[in-house]
Structure 1
C-alpha cells in the first residue's frame, strides 16, 4: 500500500503512514499525549477533525481543549449533544442557543409553556450523560442539498435549512447523532465519549450550558449573574423583532429582495434613539453629573459613540468636552510588563491614576488645567498647549478601557459620575443552534480598521488578538456591571457590509502563516452572508469609525 509522509509538530519528526490513515489513527500510533484528550488537529494550518484521512504529505499538530480551536470543537459537539438530549426529554420543545454569557451559553426552550425546573435540568443532564456513556459517534454525511434541507425542515430547523439553501451548493454535509441531524458551522469531535465535563443550570428564564476551563479541564468556568448584560441581550432580541431579522438567513432574504437599505435605516435610527435616551438620563441628574465615563473592549466603537453622545448632550443644552484616558499613560519606562516581559498597556497601572484624579478635582473646582497629550512614538506624555476649564453647563466625557474600574476615580463622588459600557453584542444568530460570537464581530471590525488606518496586515491583527482578548478579560469585562447603562454598538446589517472589506484582507493571509487557520475560519463564516452595499450608511454611523467616511474628526 502506498504511504504518505507527515511531519508531526508534537513529536518534531517525520512519520510515514498508509494513504487514507485517519488523524485519530495517527495520534494513537504516535501516542500523542496532551494535558487533555486530543480532540482535533491543525493540518497545513487548517483545523481538521480527527476523522479526516491523510492522502498527501501534511504538517500536523494535534490539539486539545487548551487550544482555541480545540475548545471550539468541544463546544460545538456539546451543543449538539444538548440538542439531542432535549429532543429525547422534550420532543416537542424548540431548543435555541441565544448568546454567550457568564462563561457559558444561554439557551431557551420554546414551547415548554412553564418555567424550567431543577428536575427538568436533571433529566436533560441525565440523558446527556447516558449518551456520553454510550460513546455515540458524530457521523458526517454528504447529502444532495435539497435532501439536507428537507431533512432539517422535518426536524423543525427552518432557519438552518433556509441558510443552507441560500448557499446554492449541490451537496451539503450534515452531522448525525443516531438519526438526528445538525450542522454547527465547523468540525466536531469523533464521538460523545470525548465530552467529559460540562455543566447545565437554570439561568434567568432559560438554561446556561457551562463549558470547562481551557487550562484546567476538570473544572468548569465560574458562573455569575449579569443583569445589565442580560438585559441588553434581551433588548437586542426586541430590536431584531422590530425589523424581523434575527438570523443570517432572514438578513440575506432582505438583502436579496433589495431591502438592505431599509435594515440600515432602521438600525441606525434605533442607535440614535438609544443614544438620545442615554443623554436624557444624564441630563435628568439635576446637574450632578460632571463626568461621563465610557468604557468597552477593542473595536466596540467607543470613540464615535462618545462623539454622538456629545451631540445629543448639546441638544439638551450641555457643552461636552472630550478627554481620552490614553493621554494619561505613564511614560514608557514606567509602563508595567506582563508575564512575558512585554509592555502591558491595558493594565490600570499603565495610567497615571494620581495625576488623572488631581486634574479631575481641579477641573471640577473650576480651575483651568493643561491637558496632557501622549506621544506614542516617543512613549512620553507631552503638553501641546490645550487647556480645560469647566463652567456651568459644561460636562466632561472621558473615554478609555478602565472607565468602569472603581479604582480609576477614587477621589470623585459617585453622584458626579455616569458610567456607560459599550460593546458590539451581535444581534443576529447563524440559526437556531449557532450564535455569533461578539468577539468575531469585533475582530472583523479591528482587522478592517488596522489595515485602513494603521497599515497592519490581517495576520498582524489576528496574531495580536489573543493578547487583546486576555487584557479585556482581566481589565474590562469584570467591571462591566458597574455601568449605569450599557450600549450595544452592533447593528443588524453590519456583517453583510464588513464582508466586502474583510474578505480581501483575510485572503492575503498565506497558508504558511500560523494565522491562516483563523483567517480561513473567518472567511468561511463570512461566506454565509450576502453582501450589503454600504452607500446608505450615514457618515455619523459607529460603523464609519472602521470603514471610513465618518463626518467626525478622530
Structure 2
C-alpha cells in the first residue's frame, strides 16, 4: 500500500499507511500522553476529526481542549451528544437550539411548553451513559436524495430545507451508534471525550452547560443574564413575525426578488422601531438624563446606531450632540502597557476619566466647556478643542467600550445617565440543532469593514481578533447587564450580503498560514448562504457601516 509522510509535533517525520486515521497515528506515536486531551487534529493548518484519515503528505498538530478551537469542538460535540440522547429518551419530540447564555446553550422542545425536572434528569442520565459506553463518532457520506428524505423522516424540517438548497451529490454526516447528523464542523471521535457537562432547567426550556476557557475541565456556577435573554427572545419573536428563523428559510426567500426586498424593508423597519422605542424611554426621563452612554463589542454597529438614535431623539424634542470618548484618550506616553508589552488603548486608564467627569459636571451646570480633540496621527490632543454648552433640550451621546462601566463616570449620578448595550445577536440558526455564533457574525463584519475602510487583508483581522476578544471579555461583557436598554444590531439577511465581500478575503488566506483553519471554517459556514446583492441594502442601514456607501458620514 502507498505510504504518506506525516510530520508530527516536535518535527519528526514518520511514514504511515495511506488511509490511516489520525487517531491511529496519535495512539501509535503516543502523542496524547500529557496535558489536555486532543479534540481534533490540525492537518496542514485545517482542522479534522481524529476519525479522519490521512491520504497525502502533511504536517499535523493536535487541537487540545484548552485552546479556542478545542473548546469550540467540545461544545459542538456536546450538542451532538445531546441530540443523540434526546432522540433516544424523547423520540417523538422535536429538540430545537436557541442561543448561548454565558457558557451555556439554551434549548427547548417544540412540543412542550415547560419541561419537567425529571425529564431533564433522564436526558442527563442518558448523556452520561453514552459517555461511559465510549461510542465512536465516525464520518460517512450519504447520497444527497437519501439525506434530504432522511431529515424529513426525522422531523427536522429546518435541516431538510437547508439541504434542499445545496447542490452536492452527497452529504457528510457524523454517525454514532446509528444516530446521524450533518457534519458542519469536526467533532471529537468518541463520546468518552465529553465528560464535562450539566443539564439545567431554565425558563421554558433548559441549558446545556459546558466548560469555559478559564476552566476547560470544569462547568463553573451559572450566572444568569436576563437582559441578554430578553434581547434574544425579542428577536426570536421578530423571526416569527418575519417567518424566517433558519438559513434554509432565508435562502428560499432570496430566490424571489420581491419577497427578499420586502423582507429587508421589514427587518430595517423593526430596527428603526426599536431605536425609536429607546428614544421614547429616554424621553420618559427627560429633565433627569443628560448623557446617553453607548457600549458594545467590536463590530456591533455602535457608530451608526448612535447616529440613528440621534435622529429619533430629535423627533421626540431633544437636541442631541455626539461626543466621542476617543477624544479623552491620554497622550501615548501616559497610556498603560498590557501584559504583552504593547500600548493598551482599550484599558480604562487610557482615558482621562477625571477630565471627562469634570467636563460633564460643568456642561450639566450650563457652563461653556472646551472639549478636547484627540489627534491619532500625533498621538495626543490638539492645542485647541471644541467649545460646547448645553441648552434645556440638549442631550449628550457618548459611544465607547467603557460606556457601561461605572468607573468611567463615577462623579455623575445614575439619574443623569442612560446606558445602552449593543451587540449583533442573530436569531437565525443554521438548522434545528446548529446555531450561528455571534462571534462569527462579528468577525465577518469586522473583516469586511477592515478591508473596505482600512485596506487590511483577512490575515490582519484574524491576527488582531484575539486581542479584541480579550478586551471585550475584560471591559464590556462584565457590565452588559447594567444597561438600561439593549439593542440587537443583527439583521437576519446580513450574512447573505456580507458573503459576497468576505469570501474573496477568506480565500486569500492560504494553507501555509496558521489562520487558514479559521478561514476554512468561515468559508464552509458561508457556503450555506445564498448571496443577496448589496444594492438592496438601504443607505441608512447599520450594515452600511461595514460594506460602505452609507448615507451617514463617519
TM-score by length of 2: 0.97
| Equivalent runs, 1:289-328 vs 2, <5 Å | 289-328=289-328
* Number of the residue aligned with 1:531: 531
| Equivalent runs, 1:189-338 vs 2, <5 Å | 189-258=188-257, 259-338=259-338
Distance 1:144 1:486 in 2: 45
| Contact 1:76–1:184 under 8 Å retained in 2 | no
After the TM superposition, list the runs of 4 or more consecutive aligned residues in structure 1 that deviate by more than 4 angstroms. Answer: none
- Structure 1 pair 214/228, CA: closer, same or farther in 2 (3 Å)? closer
Distance 1:53 1:479 in 2: 46
| Contact 1:163–1:528 under 8 Å retained in 2 | yes
| Contact 1:325–1:399 under 8 Å retained in 2 | yes
Distance 2:404 2:103 in 1: 20
* Number of the residue aligned with 1:423: 423
| Contact 1:134–1:193 under 8 Å retained in 2 | yes
Distance 2:350 2:93 in 1: 51
Matched, 1:123 2:122: yes
Q: CA deviation at 1:209?
A: 0.8
Q: CA deviation at 1:396?
A: 0.2
* Number of the residue aligned with 1:504: 504
How well do the aligned residues superpose, as a CA RMSD in angstroms?
Answer: 1.4
Q: Deviations over 1:287-316 (max 9, x none)?
A: 211000000000000000000000111111
TM-score by length of 1: 0.97
Matched, 1:179 2:178: yes
Distance 2:283 2:298 in 1: 28
Question: Structure 1 residues 464-473 or 13-22, which shifts more?
Answer: 13-22
Q: CA deviation at 1:42?
A: 0.9
Q: CA deviation at 1:218?
A: 2.3
* Number of the residue aligned with 2:467: 467
Distance 2:437 2:383 in 1: 41
Give the gaps of 5 or more residues in structure 1: none
Distance 1:182 1:533 in 2: 32
Question: Structure 1 residues 520-529 or 32-41, which shifts more?
Answer: 32-41
* Number of the residue aligned with 1:405: 405
Matched, 1:492 2:492: yes
| Equivalent runs, 1:375-390 vs 2, <5 Å | 375-390=375-390
Distance 1:289 1:341 in 2: 40
Q: CA deviation at 1:385?
A: 3.5
Q: Deviations over 1:149-201 (max 9, x none)?
A: 11111111111111112112111121222222212511111111111211111
Distance 1:328 1:184 in 2: 49
Distance 1:476 1:369 in 2: 29
Q: Deviations over 1:491-535 (max 9, x none)?
A: 111011001111111111122111111111111111110001222
Distance 2:50 2:186 in 1: 9
Query: What secondary structure is seen at the aligned counterpart in 2 of 1:167?
Result: coil
Distance 1:256 1:348 in 2: 48
| Contact 2:51–2:139 under 8 Å retained in 1 | no
| Equivalent runs, 1:48-63 vs 2, <5 Å | 48-63=48-63
Q: Deviations over 1:325-359 (max 9, x none)?
A: 11111221222222221222212112111111111
- Structure 1 pair 513/384, CA: closer, same or farther in 2 (3 Å)? farther
Distance 1:184 1:410 in 2: 50
Query: What secondary structure is seen at the aligned counterpart in 2 of 1:176?
Result: strand
Query: What secondary structure is seen at the aligned counterpart in 1 of 2:107?
Result: strand
* Number of the residue aligned with 1:111: 111
Q: CA deviation at 1:215?
A: 4.5
| Contact 1:184–1:434 under 8 Å retained in 2 | no
Q: CA deviation at 1:449?
A: 0.5
Distance 1:50 1:139 in 2: 9
* Number of the residue aligned with 2:481: 481
Query: What secondary structure is seen at the aligned counterpart in 2 of 1:397?
Result: strand
Distance 1:184 1:141 in 2: 9
Q: Deviations over 1:454-496 (max 9, x none)?
A: 1211111011111111110111011001100100001111011
Q: Deviations over 1:22-61 (max 9, x none)?
A: 1111111222235221111111111111112112110111
Query: What secondary structure is seen at the aligned counterpart in 1 of 2:408?
Result: coil
Q: CA deviation at 1:384?
A: 4.4
| Contact 1:248–1:428 under 8 Å retained in 2 | yes
Q: CA deviation at 1:139?
A: 2.5
Distance 1:6 1:179 in 2: 32
Query: What secondary structure is seen at the aligned counterpart in 2 of 1:78?
Result: helix
Q: Deviations over 1:72-115 (max 9, x none)?
A: 221121111111112222222211111111221111122134x2
Q: Deviations over 1:226-269 (max 9, x none)?
A: 11110110011111111101000000000012222111100000
* Number of the residue aligned with 2:363: 363
* Number of the residue aligned with 1:89: 89
Q: CA deviation at 1:222?
A: 4.0
Distance 1:55 1:230 in 2: 46
Question: Structure 1 residues 14-23 or 394-403, which shifts more?
Answer: 14-23
| Contact 1:40–1:47 under 8 Å retained in 2 | yes
| Contact 1:371–1:383 under 8 Å retained in 2 | no
* Number of the residue aligned with 2:131: 132
Matched, 1:414 2:414: yes
Query: What secondary structure is seen at the aligned counterpart in 2 of 1:459?
Result: helix
Query: What secondary structure is seen at the aligned counterpart in 2 of 1:492?
Result: coil
Q: CA deviation at 1:221?
A: 3.8
Distance 1:326 1:43 in 2: 43
Distance 2:392 2:183 in 1: 56
Q: Deviations over 1:407-454 (max 9, x none)?
A: 111011111111110101112100010110111111011001100111
Give the count of matched residue pairs. Answer: 552
Distance 1:446 1:141 in 2: 35
Query: What secondary structure is seen at the aligned counterpart in 2 of 1:124?
Result: helix
Q: CA deviation at 1:553?
A: 1.2
